[in-house]
Amino acid sequence: MPIHITFPDGAVKSFDAPPTALDIALGISPGLAKQAVVAKVDGELWDLSRPIEHDARLELVKRNAPEALEVIRHDAAHVLGQAVQELFSGTQITFGPATENGFYYDFARAEPFTEADLAKIEARMHDIVQRDLPLEREVWSHAQAVDYFSAHGETFKAEWIRDGIAPDAELTVYRQGEWLDLCRGPHLPSTGRIGTAFKLTKVGGAYWRGDANNAQLQRIYGVAFADDKALNNYLHMLEEAERRDHRKLGPQLDLFHLQEEAVGSVFWHPHGYTLYREIENYIRRRLQKAGYVEVKTPMLVDRVLWERSGHWAKYRENMFTAESEERTLAVKPMNCPCHVQIFKQGIKSYRDLPLRMAEFGACHRNEPSGSLHGLMRVRGFTQDDAHIFCLPSQIGPETVAFCDLLLSVYRDFGFSDVHVKFSDRPEVRAGDDATWDRAEGALRDAIEQTGLAYTMNPGEGAFYGPKLEFVLRDAIGRDWQCGTLQVDFVLPERLDAEYVAEDGSRQRPVMLHRAVLGSLERFIGILIEQHSGAFPAWLSPVQVVVATIVSDADDYAREAVEALRAAGLRAEADTRNEKINYKIREHSLMKVPVIAVVGRNEAEQHTVTLRRLGQKDQQTLALADAAAALATEARPPA
């Protein structure tokens, strides 16, 4: 019976015997066969060499497609596994998946891998690629797989198959030369098709099956791309990321520090807290203009409220608690339930809505110490949080207004490349399906009203409602999820929030949870890396340093600082007995935007000579003119 293959353009071709995708590609053109790396059969990725034994829709995936890149990375992981076992006998393999930018493989080995080992392993990987070994798919029984891996000393693999896979299941194994691994696939036709655009990056630790009670493994990480240009661009980005790392620049610029006695919390230094307050004040001005009212809610709240809201069941393990007078109090991990308590004070009418309630809410979450990362992930943080209590008919207009506000704020901070993700219902959630249908429909209608493009992010909604996630791209191409907007019908119901409708009935408001920056700490970390610590003038902790050439100009330097401060600038004097080139170099390293140099001539003529960060040219202005010009340059956005 012939097999009918349908192509993307709708054409259909019949085959008397089960063809492979590679056979079909060769029948179209040798060039297509060379470009194809994997096939889509009825939407599922298949090996090119796997026979198609039923009528199917076929799409040939070329090397530059996203699906192909994931396969290339998965193949690189297999080559890594083979290279390690060829070089280090007795090492056991566990698992080696593709990741966002590359791959890793976890190994069980008594001796630790070293940086020198990585170089040897990478060289052997290139050798395996040059061998161009065919990647062959085999189907094994459960018993056959257990017997094979047990007999070859692969106890972890044998355990996984024995305990995690049904005894009647058929398993697929991929063989490359004499090496093989258990794998669903798909894979490239041969190791040679991987190419040379891969690199091992580091060694880390892992636990078998992700459980700290199990054996510790060694994880080797690598990156892989479709071509050498993409690899080199990525490696350059990593170098840039290292140079911009906020964990180095923060202490170097005297902004903040972290220490073990307060794990996950930030010690803000004067310059860092100046930056912090400038950002907070800017957001406060924007919120006031947008019609928000600002509130402040307690840090310690009885567990009873968290139980009613549903957060106790969901977040209990991440909440800090304290006992007092036979009551359990929780340090708030978020502000939402407390804002509902303010909303409930007094009777609210439909005429009072929308009510936009904002708070710079100090929150704490008991994040695992191993997950903490500078300012990017902390235990104590402040959210630029707000909740909009509104009518269902107001969801669309409020979403449009919020998106306009958010994008404007990001532009003011230097971010213009922003994309939106629509995150729908997670597996574990509050509320019934009808409530989620209503919330998702309302949010989808709202995002359509904004005219913004968005992509779906399945299963990543908040536990009480769907959300929009706003992802900004920084100067070196990294993506950061910062702002959110969530539609919530659940919390107002659980916490008994209501308003008097136009017909006199009592109704539940819709609650829109929204943040622009997310957390101030994390956003400052992103800003440091975005600007390499060289902030725009309005954000710079010190905007001008007046540096003296000779001690005769000390008094004038102090006068100049007073004039600059009177103009609204953050100015400091440097009258140390050091050479001017030393002072300029030091303040340049501290990323001060403007250095005003003064000597005898400037003191006599009441001028300053301005040197701007990163520029060689100098400009001499009268002090009053310089103060006015610099104040204009450093004026915060409205």
**Residues 538, 634 contacting (CB under 8 angstroms):** yes
Query: What average pLDDT does this structure show over 385-402?
Result: 96
Same fold, 67-241 and 544-633: no
pLDDT in tens, 465-497: 999 999 999 989 899 999 999 999 999 999 999
pLDDT in tens, 397-408: 999 999 999 999
Q: Which of 193, 257, 156 is nearest to 49 (CA)?
A: 193
Query: What average pLDDT does this structure show over 169-177?
Result: 93
Query: What average pLDDT does this structure show over 578-588?
Result: 96
**Residues 220, 118 contacting (CB under 8 angstroms):** yes
Question: Residue 30: pLDDT above 90?
Answer: no
**Residues 283, 292 contacting (CB under 8 angstroms):** no
418-423 and 544-548: which strand pairing? Answer: unpaired
Q: What is the pLDDT of residue 32?
A: 86
Question: Residue 371: pLDDT above 90?
Answer: no
Q: What is the pLDDT of residue 577?
A: 93
Q: What is the pLDDT of residue 431?
A: 84
Question: Residue 536: pLDDT above 80?
Answer: yes
Domain boundaries along the sequence of the chain: 3-62, 67-241, 256-530, 544-633
Query: What average pLDDT does this structure show over 7-26?
Result: 89
Where on the phi/psi map is residue 560: left (φ > 0), alpha (ψ -120 to 50), or beta? alpha
Question: Residue 638: pLDDT above 80?
Answer: no
Q: What is the pLDDT of residue 427?
A: 86
pLDDT bucket at 314, cuts 50 / 70 / 90: confident
* Percent of the chain residues topping a pLDDT of 90: 84
Query: What average pLDDT does this structure show over 500-509?
Result: 96
Inter-helix orientation angle 395-412/433-450, to 10°? 60
Q: How far is CA 594 from CA 97, 254, 274, 548, 637, in A?
A: 49, 18, 17, 14, 19
Q: Which of 183-187, 328-332, 394-398 has the lowest mean pLDDT?
A: 183-187
**Residues 507, 494 contacting (CB under 8 angstroms):** no
pLDDT bucket at 121, cuts 50 / 70 / 90: very high
- One-letter-per-residue 3-state SS of 364-425: ECCCCHHHCECCCECCEEEEEEEEEEECHHHHHHHHHHHHHHHHHHHHHCCCCCEEEEEECC
**Residues 346, 370 contacting (CB under 8 angstroms):** no
pLDDT bucket at 192, cuts 50 / 70 / 90: very high
**Residues 358, 287 contacting (CB under 8 angstroms):** yes
Q: What is the pLDDT of residue 122?
A: 97
Q: What is the pLDDT of residue 158?
A: 93
pLDDT bucket at 269, cuts 50 / 70 / 90: very high
**Residues 142, 167 contacting (CB under 8 angstroms):** yes
**CATH of 544-633 given 3.30.1600.10, 3.40.50.800, 3.40.630.30, 3.30.450.30:** 3.40.50.800
pLDDT bucket at 154, cuts 50 / 70 / 90: very high
Question: Residue 432: pLDDT above 90?
Answer: no
CB proximity list for 447: less than 8 A, separation 6 or greater: 399, 420, 422, 454, 468
Query: What average pLDDT does this structure show over 241-268?
Result: 96
Question: Residue 249: pLDDT above 90?
Answer: yes
pLDDT bucket at 63, cuts 50 / 70 / 90: confident
- Encoded tokens for 420: 């939106």
pTM: 0.84
Question: Residue 376: pLDDT above 90?
Answer: yes
Catalytic residue set: 336, 365, 383, 385, 387, 467, 513
CA distance 195 to 134: 14
- Please state the CATH superfamily assignment of the domain spanning residues 3-62 in this structure: Beta-grasp domain (3.10.20.30)
pLDDT in tens, 196-220: 999 999 999 889 988 888 999 999 9
Question: Structurally, what CATH architecture does the domain formed by 67-241 represent?
Answer: 2-Layer Sandwich (3.30)
Query: What average pLDDT does this structure show over 278-284?
Result: 97
Q: Which of 461, 424, 428 is nearest to 444 (CA)?
A: 424
Q: What is the pLDDT of residue 23?
A: 87
CA distance 614 to 371: 36
pLDDT in tens, 335-360: 999 999 999 999 999 999 999 999 99
CB proximity list for 391: less than 8 A, separation 6 or greater: 350, 353, 354, 509, 510
Rg for the chain (alpha carbons), in Å? Answer: 30
pLDDT bucket at 428, cuts 50 / 70 / 90: confident
Q: What is the pLDDT of residue 462?
A: 86
Question: Structurally, what CATH architecture does the domain formed by 256-530 represent?
Answer: 2-Layer Sandwich (3.30)
- Encoded tokens for 566: 């009177």
pLDDT bucket at 300, cuts 50 / 70 / 90: very high
Q: What is the pLDDT of residue 213?
A: 87
Q: What is the pLDDT of residue 598?
A: 96
pLDDT in tens, 78-101: 999 999 999 999 999 999 899 988
Q: What is the pLDDT of residue 611?
A: 96
Q: What is the pLDDT of residue 370?
A: 81
* Percent of the chain residues topping a pLDDT of 70: 100
- Encoded tokens for 257: 């520090």
Q: Integer distance in angstroms from the first to the last C-alpha of the chain? A: 73
Question: Residue 31: pLDDT above 90?
Answer: no
CA distance 542 to 569: 8
- Encoded tokens for 157: 């693999």
Question: Residue 558: pLDDT above 90?
Answer: yes
pLDDT averaged over every residue in the chain: 94
